[in-house]
Amino acid sequence: MAEAIIDSGSGQHSLKRVIGRRVLLLFVVGDILGAGIYALVGKVAGYVGGALWLPFLVAFVLAALTATAYAELVGKYPQAAGAALYVNKAFNIPFVTFIVAFAVLMSGITSASAAARAFGGRYLAEFVTLPVIVGAFIFLGLVTLVNFIGISESVKVNVVLTVIEAFGLLVIIAIGVYALLSGQGEPARALEFHPANGAFLGVLGGTALAFYALLGFEDSVNLAEESKDPQRDFPRALFGGLIVAAVIYVAVAFTATMLVDTKTLTSSTGPLLEVVKVAGFAFPPKLFALIALLAVGNTALINMLMASRLVYGMAREGIVPKVFAAVHPTRSTPWVSIVFTVGIAAVLVATGDVGNLADTTVLLLLCVFTMVNVAVLILRRDRVEHDHFRAPSWMPVLGALVCLVLALPITGRGGDVYLRAGVLIAIGVILWFVNRLFLSEGEHSS
């Protein structure tokens, strides 16, 4: 990402365009599916009661507004780097570009930390009984080990993990269909609306948290340089992927609330496992727990890989101190960046739970999405020769306003979430100024 920030004006592409529309669609779906739905169904129920499918539906509509901005920008500038590239082109202020990139980086670490806490909870308890924080730290250690040894991600691996994640959710939907046909469960509970803080604030708070489950669609812009026809394929894959994920999520949420009472869902760290255990037909709970652990684990692994490589890339470009560009002599992995990112993740795991860590991820990305929605409007004055998707102007305008509203404390988000996000961004500000200080001293000494 750092290289794209510096070199985005060159318009040169070094990656092969080999990804077609179907694979791109699968990648978008795979990026969205993961820890969010497996871990947060119960937390969302705490905001609205039995009608927990409603916040997921509203979150989809609101995510689609920002998706239109990404669809226009990736068609206009089919390069990797995403939000940082667009903000850089729109504002051309290096510090603002850096803060946006750093917010994306930190959102990856907070997301991985939330996934680690989810990993150490109810799903892991099917195999071994450990305190949640112990299981989370063991998992974080395994992710770090894989990150240090080195891993070659490919579209094929992503396809396999997507199939596993989707299969687990389809099992839940199948349980729901069977329950409806056999007269089991309480479908009426899915219409019970008991917001904790009034109708508007209840839905708003639940939507802000459910938004976490739909994050990931923005990561797909990094495949722009490898797509065969990004101007045509990306908008269709992006909106198609969001629709597929939303349908799955609403069906899963409906099934969960139909078969499991709200109190049990709210208190469980593995809410979908509760659904499997009360299902009318036998599906091995341990097998489902394994599927859930793979889904949650994949989320954390991808985020930590992204975070460490992003810090490394920034250091290579002189954006943060050069020490973060150090590579291990035998493993050829950015070990200093790995230690830095996992250190932050460890503190987050020790001081937060799944809900507020997911909320911190959402808060950081809502700020990024606001900037992207504004950037797409500013960049309307920058004409390009090729055709591309153009969002109706009201959609990014509404998208920016919605993101700002969802970022406000009125959603019920705790002060600790804002403090945590502020501290994480402050780390970036410190790195920025320390690096500028060293660069300035170097120039004077030369």
Paired residues of 196 in beta bridges? 198
Inside any domain, residue 15: no
Inside any domain, residue 13: no
pLDDT of 403: 93
Distance, in Å, from the CA atom of 236 to the CA atom of 233, rounded to the nearest integer, reads 5
Distance, in Å, from the CA atom of 303 to the CA atom of 338, rounded to the nearest integer, reads 12
Inside any domain, residue 336: yes
Dihedral of alpha carbons 198, 200, 204, 206, sign: positive
Asked if residue 182 lies in contact with residue 285, where contact means CB atoms within 8 angstroms, the answer is: no
Q: Please give the span between the terminal C-alpha atoms of the chain, in angstroms, as a whole number.
A: 30
Instruction: Give the global pTM.
Output: 0.84
Inside any domain, residue 413: yes
Domain tally for the chain? 1
Distance, in Å, from the CA atom of 341 to the CA atom of 307, rounded to the nearest integer, reads 7
Domain coverage including residue 212: 2-8+20-445
Asked if residue 337 lies in contact with residue 308, where contact means CB atoms within 8 angstroms, the answer is: yes
Asked if residue 322 lies in contact with residue 130, where contact means CB atoms within 8 angstroms, the answer is: no
* Amino acid occupying residue 181: L
Inside any domain, residue 14: no
Inside any domain, residue 53: yes
Orientation of helix 335-351 relative to helix 132-149, angle to 10°: 170
- Residue 312's closest CA among 337, 331, 347, 277? 337
Any idea what the CATH number is for the domain that residue 32 is in?
1.20.1740.10
Full DSSP string of 229-245: SHHHHHHHHHHHHHHHH
Inside any domain, residue 58: yes
Cα-Cα-Cα-Cα torsion 112, 115, 116, 121, nearest 10 degrees, comes to: 170
Could you read off the pLDDT tens digit of each residue along the chain, which spans 446 residues? 333 333 444 444 344 555 666 777 877 787 788 778 888 888 888 888 888 899 999 999 999 999 999 988 888 887 656 788 888 888 988 899 889 988 988 998 999 899 889 888 888 888 988 888 999 899 888 888 877 775 554 445 556 777 888 899 999 999 999 888 888 888 888 888 877 777 788 888 888 888 888 887 777 666 665 667 767 778 888 899 899 989 999 999 999 999 998 888 888 888 898 899 888 677 888 999 999 888 887 778 778 877 887 788 777 777 777 888 888 777 677 888 888 999 999 999 998 888 889 999 999 999 999 999 999 999 988 887 777 788 899 999 999 999 999 998 888 888 999 999 999 999 989 988 887 777 655 544 55
Paired residues of 227 in beta bridges? 19
pLDDT of 20: 64
Inside any domain, residue 220: yes
Distance, in Å, from the CA atom of 7 to the CA atom of 367, rounded to the nearest integer, reads 24
pLDDT of 19: 65
